[in-house]
């Protein structure tokens, strides 16, 4: 079996559970017979090219164990897009540190990085095993039922919408609407997940809009008016990536990141939530609120899903198992066996099938109107979110 050192990196946005995956890789790699030393990229591939490496084998045991209960990216992250001129530099550093096992934890852009590095090394006759470990709160990776990080971010959003909904319901004589914006550039998984906040017909959220559907201002305003007439107020959840039929972002953002992805929110000027807020005010004159959490839900460990934490760790363990089986150019995948009782299996998927492209939600996960979810999606989501709090409301027993 190929012997040498292992390299681990974290890339892209953080999550509440990405460090749990890191712990799984470190512990499994250190316990293996074929990996000698375990190094960690400080600030991703950017730091690696500058030879900024942590010696993870020399970390105190309590620190490695503590990673399973620590949010964000302990190694430091990066959004650097690897260029052709970077590849010889990367190979040079791999050779210098005798790195033969390359693990990266991240989303589709990260999987593209591993895919390119592994392919380049193969072409240069340098033997390297490249394994991807899934991570993204957006839940938009192909080849896996869901991604570590998603369930915890979804749970955070669900609880935000639950509590904001109670507030909005009680303040409806002051504010007629509330808009909650989730992250999710190309897919609506996080926005859709907030549907679990709704226990009664008048509970939030009443309307959910995601990037899977072309946005229509006219239809949106009709939906809003219908809800307000029916129950007196409306709770709206929107994904940051909403676009009109011609492809124009509802946020009017034209700013691009290094991977040519549209930047929504603060960097792109107006947000979807503020744009929708303005539409309602201009059309009806109502007062209302908008709420934008941005990256806060990506590091909300207090609300992390227990299932998410455990699966993230096991994905790290599985990555080392794949390396032991001399696999390369693959990502760890999760296959759902059953919803009730919840059961999964781990597998693998070729990196070329995962890299760059985003996985939208299936059409049957939405209602016919495209402004809320179906029961099929609720069945998919419930085991991941875990138990949610129960709120009460006063019964309408008035004095005589």
Is residue 142 within 8 A of residue 354, CB to CB? The reply is yes
Ranges 53-62, 95-104, 258-267: which has the least confidence: 258-267
What is the CATH number that goes with domain 4-148+303-354? 3.40.50.450
pLDDT given for residue 258 in this prediction: 58
Split at pLDDT 50, 70, 90, the class of 189 is very high
pLDDT at 268 over 70: no
Catalytic residue, chosen from 112, 138, 203, 223, is 138
Residue recorded with tokens 């991977």: 259
331-386 pLDDT, tens digit per residue, is 999 999 999 999 999 999 999 999 877 889 999 999 999 999 999 999 999 999 99
294-327 pLDDT, tens digit per residue, is 889 999 999 999 999 999 999 999 999 999 999 9
277-290 pLDDT, tens digit per residue, is 999 999 999 999 99
What does the alpha-carbon distance between residue 380 and residue 57 come to, in Å, rounded to a whole number? 38
**Residue extents of the structural domains in the chain:** 4-148+303-354, 152-301+360-385
Question: What average pLDDT does the chain have?
Answer: 94
What does the alpha-carbon distance between residue 210 and residue 191 come to, in Å, rounded to a whole number? 7
pLDDT at 260 over 70: no
Mean pLDDT of 135-159: 97
Class of domain 152-301+360-385: alpha beta
What does the alpha-carbon distance between residue 204 and residue 200 come to, in Å, rounded to a whole number? 9
pTM score of the predicted model: 0.93
204-257 pLDDT, tens digit per residue, is 999 999 999 999 999 999 999 999 999 999 999 999 999 999 999 998 754 555
Q: Which helix (H) or strand (E) holds 322?
A: helix 306-324
pLDDT at 266 over 60: no
Q: In the annotation, is 138 catalytic? A: yes
């Amino acid at each position: 079996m190929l012997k040498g050192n292992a390299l681990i990196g974290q890339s892209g946005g953080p999550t509440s559970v990405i460090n749990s995956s890191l712990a799984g890789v470190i512990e499994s790699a250190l316990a293996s017979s074929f990996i000698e030393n375990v190094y960690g990229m400080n600030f991703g591939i950017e730091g690696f090219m500058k030879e900024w490496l942590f010696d993870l084998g020399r970390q105190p045991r309590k620190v490695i164990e503590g990673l399973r209960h620590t949010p964000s990216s302990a190694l430091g992250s990066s959004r650097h897009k690897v260029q052709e001129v970077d590849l010889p530099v990367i190979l040079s550093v791999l050779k210098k540190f005798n790195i033969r096992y390359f693990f990266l934890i991240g989303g589709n852009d990260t999987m593209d990085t591993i895919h390119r590095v592994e392919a380049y090394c193969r072409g240069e006759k340098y033997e390297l095993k490249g394994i991807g470990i899934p991570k993204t709160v957006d839940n938009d990776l192909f080849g896996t039922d869901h991604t570590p990080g998603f369930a915890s971010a979804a749970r955070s959003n669900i609880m935000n919408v639950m509590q904001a909904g109670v507030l909005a319901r009680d303040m409806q004589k002051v504010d007629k609407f509330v808009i909650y914006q989730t992250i999710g550039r190309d897919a609506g998984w996080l926005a859709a997940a907030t549907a679990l906040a709704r226990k009664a017909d008048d509970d939030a959220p009443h309307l959910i809009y995601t990037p899977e559907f072309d946005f229509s201002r006219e239809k949106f305003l009709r939906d809003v008016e219908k809800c307000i007439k029916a129950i007196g107020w409306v709770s709206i959840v929107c994904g940051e990536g909403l676009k009109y039929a011609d492809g124009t972002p509802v946020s009017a953002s034209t700013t691009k990141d290094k991977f040519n992805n549209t930047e929504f929110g603060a960097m792109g000027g107006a947000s979807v939530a503020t744009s929708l807020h303005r539409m309602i005010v201009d059309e009806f004159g109502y007062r209302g609120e908008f709420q934008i959490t941005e990256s806060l839900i990506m590091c909300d460990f207090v609300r992390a899903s227990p299932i998410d934490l455990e699966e993230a760790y096991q994905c790290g363990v599985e990555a080392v198992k794949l390396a032991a089986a001399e696999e390369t150019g693959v990502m760890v995948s999760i296959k759902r066996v059953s919803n009730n009782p919840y059961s999964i299996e781990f597998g693998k998927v070729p990196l070329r099938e995962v890299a760059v492209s985003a996985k939208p939600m299936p059409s049957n996960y939405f209602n016919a109107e495209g402004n809320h979810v179906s029961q099929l999606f609720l069945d998919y989501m419930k085991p991941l979110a875990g138990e949610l709090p129960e709120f009460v409301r006063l019964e309408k027993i008035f004095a005589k």
